[in-house]
Copies of this chain bind each other. A is one copy, B any other.
Amino acid sequence: MVVVVQQVIDVTAAAADGSAARRRPARVPVPPPRSLLSTVGAKLKETLFPDDPFRAVAREPAGRRRALAVLRYLLPCLEWLPSYSFAKLRSDVVSGVTIASLAVPQGISYARLAGLDPVIGLYSSFVPALVYAALGSSRELAVGSTAVISLLFASMLGPAASPAEDPALYASLAFTATFFAGAFQAALGVLRLGFLIDFLSHAAIVGFMGGAATVVALQQLRGFLGLQHFTHATDLPAVMRSVFSQSAHWLWQPFLIGVCLFVFLQITRYISKRRPKLFWISAAAPLASIIVSTLLVYLISGEKYSIQTIGSVKKGINPLSVKSLLLSSPHTWLAARTGIITGIISLAEGSAVARSFAMAKNYHVDGNKEMIAFGAMNMAGSCTSCYLTASPFSRSAVNRDAGCRTAASNAVMALAVAATLLLLTPLFRYTPQAALSAIITSAMLGVIDVRAAARLARVDRVDFCVCLATFLGVVFRSIDVGLVVAIGVLVLRVLLSVARPRTTALGKVPGSTAYRRMDQYATAQATPGVLVLRVDSPICFANASYLRERISRWIDDHEDQIRTCGGESLRCVVLDMGAVTSIDSSGTGMLEDLKRSLDKRCLQIALANPGSEIMRKLDKSKVLQIIGDEWIFLTVADASDYAHRNCKIATTLQSVLSPNEMV
């Protein structure tokens, strides 16, 4: 191996005096070898700790201050508590009360959707919110149950235990699934594997959430029409069959209440959207609908008109549920599966929301720490009669608009919900189910993000297809099928992009030394006798043989063109390695094969702008020797000029020197 220092001098020396550089262009240095340990260490650090989470700790001098920094790292509430002021408290109380007025009706609605006792929905806004206030590092996230996860619970756990016939077993299953979801989320965070969540792309999430929201909204037809029986399936055809087969039992009274409230909620949403300052109108609307409809049903004695109501709701805050966790029963595996799937989905939604809010206000959210917070709040929740909570986008947006300053707004919400649990639950007795359906349907319309889908269709059609396939999978088959479709398509897409990298021919942009794609830059001109090819991907096992064949096809095409159109015959192929960010042993083998096969065709090969990893691998695999040190260049312009001037001689020389190779 040539010594690096010498080569670095070469670069400067060659670059310093103009004319000499013309003849011998700057060389590309081979970096010094690194030990396996330092390579693996650097890789692991970049994979698992890309955001350098201990930066703040490392900055502090050792001793007490560093211990405090560690504590601050572990308990993010210590970051804002010391500087907490009355002004911040006021903001947080306002926003906390606002989201509580949303949390109460949503909690009851979603718990019913999950097939659970409504009061469990209220419990779920109490303990988890307190835990998140202590551990969460996002300022705006509001914690609570979400509609999509509630429906997933019902559709995955329902077949094992009927919510109507054995509510105790069903609730145990839900708590157990919540426990597993929390444990899985915390494990992902502790092992710093949060990046796995990134493989659920934005497009897939838009399609998935849209499909799930559609499915949830369809389920509300039951409440709107006052139906007693309803299908367990979630797909559109089954729901439609179920609804229309019972057309004789449709009731107009709940339908009237539901539609009136739905229209009311839509109007308030529209007002708040037009005037962001009036955010409280849409935030308070669900609670207002609940109050108005409950009063109405109470006054007209709703039972007479067969209007279904929620019924009595237990008083008192969360009872313990540790004993109902089913950690060794035949259903444990089902609960674990449900927990893992719902845990992933809630993380995917939650981390997207947290990141986008943090980005907007320019502070940093540690995704892995956020996962630990989610995991802790769900594990704590599963022991205190809560089911899976996440951070619904709508509630978090209200929290932000209401001006929350710290995670304390979640604690305020928790206290408000606890007050409701202790004092107000008897009032929900007359709340009509149609009101809950109206609230859910209205919230779901906000989740179906038609504008994002339209944007995808405009910007990136492949992404749009992923989004559409996921949506259709969810709506027409089931929620899990949609998820599997999404993940399958995304992994296939990544693999395909690696297996079939782009290769392009470059030409010189006149008047500059830049070589650019000839299909992009109409003015770029090919150098006579030289074919400059750019490989747009790492060269690895998955694409080495493809690239070998593709490059010879480029050469064939070029020679065909010269045969038909005339021009200087080909003497040298320059490979622009600028975008080849890594190479493995199949890749170096490919270059070796390519060199030999070009030798047979009396063509010279030159490499331009290889990165340091590439140079190291080429050197170690002896391919550098085979190609020849002098055919590696710093820039495409160097390579192309040098080849244009020296190639004929080089080829002739070589054919004299190694006649055996020229069979």
| Residue positions of A touching B, CB distance < 8 A | 4, 8, 11-12, 15-16, 21, 26, 29, 31, 36, 39, 46-47, 50-52, 55, 195, 198-204, 355-356, 359-362, 364, 367, 455-456, 458-463, 490-491, 494-502, 509-514, 516-517, 519-523, 536-538, 540-546, 548-550, 552-553, 556, 578-579, 581-582, 584-586, 588-589, 593, 596-597, 600-601, 611-612, 615, 617, 620-621, 634-635, 663
With A15-B512, A495-B494, A509-B15 in contact, do A456 and B600 touch (Cβ < 8 Å)? no
Please give, as numbers and ranges, the residues of chain B lying within 8 Å of A496 by CB-CB distance: 47
A381, B596: Cα distance in complex, Å:
37
A224 to B: closest C-beta gap in Å: 35
- A8 contacts B461, C-beta separation under 8 Å: no
Task: Name the contact of A198 in the complex, choosing from B541, B578, B600 (C-beta under 8 A).
Answer: B541
13 more A-B contacts (CB under 8 A) besides A8-B523, A195-B546? A4-B522, A51-B550, A195-B499, A198-B545, A202-B544, A203-B541, A203-B584, A367-B545, A459-B617, A491-B495, A498-B498, A514-B634, A514-B635
Measured in the bound complex, the distance between the Cα atoms of B367 and A93 in whole Å is: 68
A sample of 13 cross-chain residue pairs with beta-carbon separation below 8 angstroms, ordered by A number, consists of A50-B546, A195-B546, A199-B495, A199-B541, A202-B589, A204-B541, A359-B596, A362-B601, A455-B585, A463-B584, A463-B586, A494-B540, A537-B581
CA distance A364 to B551 in the complex (A): 13
Contact between B514 and A362, CB atoms less than 8 A apart: no
Is the Cβ of B359 less than 8 Å from the Cβ of A501? no
Assess the A460–B585 pair: CB atoms within 8 A: yes
CA distance A16 to B512 in the complex (A): 9
**Given A355-B545, A541-B202, A600-B362 in contact, is the A26-B585 Cβ separation under 8 Å?**
no
Q: How far is the CA of A596 from the CA of B29 in the complex (A)?
A: 38
- For residue A619, give the distance in angstroms from its CB to the closest CB of chain B: 9
A500 B359 Cβ-Cβ under 8 A: no
* Residues from chain B with Cβ under 8 Å of A514 in the complex: 26, 634-635
Nearest chain B CB to A617 CB, angstrom units: 6
A617 to B456, CA, bound (A): 11
Given the complex of chains A and B, what is the CA–CA distance between A246 and B108 in angstroms?
71
CB proximity of A506 to chain B, nearest CB, Å: 11
* Candidate in A46, A514, A621 with the most chain B CB atoms within 10 angstroms: A514
Pair B511/A16 contact, Cβ less than 8 Å: yes
Known A359-B597, A517-B612; judge A509-B584 contact (CB<8 A): no
- The smallest beta-carbon distance between A298 and chain B, in angstroms, is 47
Shortest A132–chain B CB gap in Å is: 21
Which B residues touch A362, using CB under 8 A?
A: 597, 600-601
Q: Give chain B residues whose Cβ lies under 8 Å from the Cβ of A537.
A: 581
Q: Which residues of chain B are near A494, meaning CB under 8 Å?
A: 494-495, 498, 540, 542
Q: Is the CB of B585 within 8 A of A203?
A: yes
Instruction: Please pick, from B55, B490, B579, B585, the residue contacting A202 in the complex, using a CB distance under 8 A.
Output: B585
- A201 CA / B538 CA spacing, docked (Å): 14
Most buried by B among A367, A520, A588: A520
- Contact present for B198 and A542 (CB under 8 Å): yes
Report Cα–Cα, A599/B200, bound state, in Å.
28
Chain B residues lying within 8 Å of A458, measured Cβ to Cβ, are: 620-621
Which chain B residue lies CB-closest to A504? B611
CB-nearest residue of chain B relative to A459? Answer: B621
In the assembled complex, the Cα of A494 lies from the Cα of B589 at a distance in Å of 19
In the complex, what distance in Å separates the CA atom of A39 from the CA atom of B502?
13
Cβ 8 A contact of A548, one of B359, B360, B498, B635: B359
Structural contact, B584 and A520, CB atoms closer than 8 A: no
Q: How distant is the Cα of A355 from the Cα of B536 in the complex, in angstroms?
A: 23
| Contact residue among B26, B47, B462 (Cβ-Cβ distance under 8 Å from A512) | B26
A50 touches which of B51, B463, B520, B549 (Cβ 8 Å)? B549
Q: How far is the CB of A10 from chain B (nearest CB, A)?
A: 10
- A608 smallest CB distance to B (angstroms): 11
Give Cα A661 to B549, complex, Å. Answer: 51
Of chain B, the residue at the smallest CB distance from A461 is: B36
Q: With A202-B589, A510-B15, A537-B581 known to touch, is A46 a contact of B500 (CB < 8 Å)?
A: yes
Residue of B nearest to A556 (CB): B55
Residues of B within 8 A of A510 (CB): 12, 15-16
Q: List the 5 closest A-B pairs by CB distance, nearest first.
A: A201-B541, A15-B511, A520-B612, A536-B581, A579-B579
Min distance, Cβ A35 to any Cβ of chain B, angstroms = 10
A200: chain B residues at CB < 8 Å are: 541
B463 touches A585 (CB 8 A): yes
- A47 touching B500, Cβ below 8 Å: yes
CB distance from A136 to the nearest CB of B (A): 18
Q: Which residues in B have their C-beta under 8 angstroms from that of A16?
A: 510-511
Contact A612 B541 (CB under 8 A): no
Residue of B nearest to A352 (CB): B545
Q: Within the assembled complex, what's the spacing in Å between the Cα atoms of A367 and B588?
A: 21
The listed residue (B497, B519, B611, B634) touching A538 by CB distance below 8 A is B497
Residues of B within 8 A of A520 (CB): 29, 31, 611-612, 615
**Residues from chain B with Cβ under 8 Å of A26 in the complex:** 509, 512, 514
Asked if residues B586 and A201 are in contact (CB atoms below 8 Å), the reply is: yes
Q: Which residues of B are found within 8 Å of A199, using beta-carbon distances?
A: 495, 499, 541-542
Find the residue from A55, A511, A545 having the highest chain B CB count within 10 A. A545
- A517 and B616 CA atoms in complex are apart in Å by 14
Give A495 to B550 CA distance when docked, in angstroms.
24
Tell me which of B8, B55, B360 contacts A521 (CB under 8 A): B8
List residues of chain B with CB within 8 A of the CB of A546.
50, 195, 198
Residues of B with C-beta under 8 A to A635: 512, 514
Residue of B nearest to A579 (CB): B579
Question: What is the CB-to-nearest-CB distance from A363 to chain B, in angstroms, rounded to a whole number?
Answer: 10
A198 and B499 contacting across the interface, CB-CB below 8 Å: yes
Please measure, in the bound complex, the distance between the C-alpha atom of A498 and the C-alpha atom of B460, giving whole angstroms.
19
